[in-house]
Amino acid sequence: MGISTSTGTLTAGNSRTFNLSPASAVTLTLSPNVRVTITETPATVAATGLGGNASRVHEPRLPGVVTYGPYPMGGSVLVEVESNSGSSVGWVRSDSIVAESADGAQSLVAGGGKAIPGPIRTGYAQSVLGTFGDSIANISSFANHDLRQISGSSMGSNSDRMGVALNALANGGFRISFNGGVSGETTTQMLARDAAGGSATRKAITDAATLGIKHLVLSAGINDLQNPTLPAGSSSAVIDAAVAASIVNLVKLCQRAMAMGITPHVPALLGYRYAAASGLATNSQANVATTQEAIRRWNVLAKATFVSAGTGLGYFYDSFVPSIVDGNGAWLAGLDQGDGLHPSENSTYLIYGPVAQNILFLATNLIDLEQQGITSFLLNGAFDS
Predicted confidence at residue 164, as pLDDT, reads: 73
Predicted confidence at residue 261, as pLDDT, reads: 86
Nearest of 41, 45, 139, 32 to residue 86 by alpha carbon: 32
Task: Convert the pLDDT of each residue in 226-275 to its tens digit.
Answer: 888 888 889 999 999 999 999 999 989 988 998 898 888 888 888 888 87
**Strand boundaries in 88-148, DSSP class E:** 89-95, 98-100, 106-109, 115-116, 127-133
Helix (H) or strand (E) holding 252: helix 236-259
Predicted confidence at residue 308, as pLDDT, reads: 52
What does the alpha-carbon distance between residue 72 and residue 46 come to, in Å, rounded to a whole number?
14
Predicted confidence at residue 382, as pLDDT, reads: 29
Q: Is the dihedral of CA 236, 241, 247, 253 positive or negative?
A: negative
Strand bridging mode 174-181 / 127-133: parallel
Predicted confidence at residue 113, as pLDDT, reads: 40
Q: Write down the pTM of the prediction.
A: 0.64
Predicted confidence at residue 14, as pLDDT, reads: 93
Inter-residue contact 378 to 307 (CB < 8 Å) = yes
Inter-residue contact 299 to 319 (CB < 8 Å) = yes
- Tens place of pLDDT for every residue, the chain, 385 residues? 345 567 889 999 999 999 877 667 889 999 989 999 999 888 764 444 444 456 788 988 888 888 887 776 678 899 999 999 999 999 988 765 555 555 555 554 433 344 444 444 444 456 788 999 998 888 887 788 888 755 444 444 445 677 777 777 776 677 888 999 998 999 999 999 988 988 989 999 999 999 999 889 999 999 999 888 888 889 999 999 999 999 999 989 988 998 898 888 888 888 888 876 555 545 677 888 899 999 989 988 887 787 654 434 445 665 555 567 787 788 888 788 888 888 887 788 777 877 777 777 666 654 444 443 333 333 333 222 2
Nearest of 382, 290, 384, 377 to residue 115 by alpha carbon: 377
Radius of gyration of the chain (CA): 22
Inter-residue contact 347 to 136 (CB < 8 Å) = no
In the chain, what is the straight-line distance between the N-terminal and C-terminal CA atoms, in Å?
15
CA dist 287 → 271, 326, 385 (Å): 14, 18, 22
User: What number of other Cβ atoms are within 10 A of residue 282's Cβ?
Assistant: 23
Strand bridging mode 263-267 / 174-181: unpaired
